[in-house]
Amino acid sequence: MYVINLRYTGALAEIDDALDAHRDYLEHYFAAGVFVLAGPKVPRVGGIILASGIERERLDAIIAEDPFAVQGLAHYDIIEFKATRLAPGLNLPEPALDS
């Protein structure tokens, strides 16, 4: 699993202009089973994405497709971890298929 920590490098007006395209990008990779959680930071200085079931090289390619990345509006820190504990009632995501 990966925690993707986005830090905005562009002005919020630029972020807002790219937000619909970024949301479409997120939706695509949620549907593909790659992204399992996403949301903005508070205060609004970036966002967090949780990804699962994918090799790091493929994840790097997917991140490069993000409109925020394409337009140079965000910096991405990626932390890989192995989930070994899970709260009762939650399920680990299934491995993603190549998309």
Mean pLDDT of the region 26-35:
96
What is the gyration radius of the CA atoms in the chain, in angstroms? 14
- Tell whether the model's pLDDT for residue 93 goes beyond 80: no
Give the pLDDT of residue 1.
94
The CATH-assigned architecture of domain 2-80 is 2-Layer Sandwich (3.30)
Averaged over 67-88, what is the pLDDT? Answer: 94
Banded pLDDT at 97 (limits 50, 70, 90): very low
Number of Cβ within 10 Å of residue 49's Cβ equals: 24
Domain limits of the chain? 2-80
pTM for this prediction: 0.88
Query: Is the pLDDT reported for residue 87 higher than 90?
Result: no
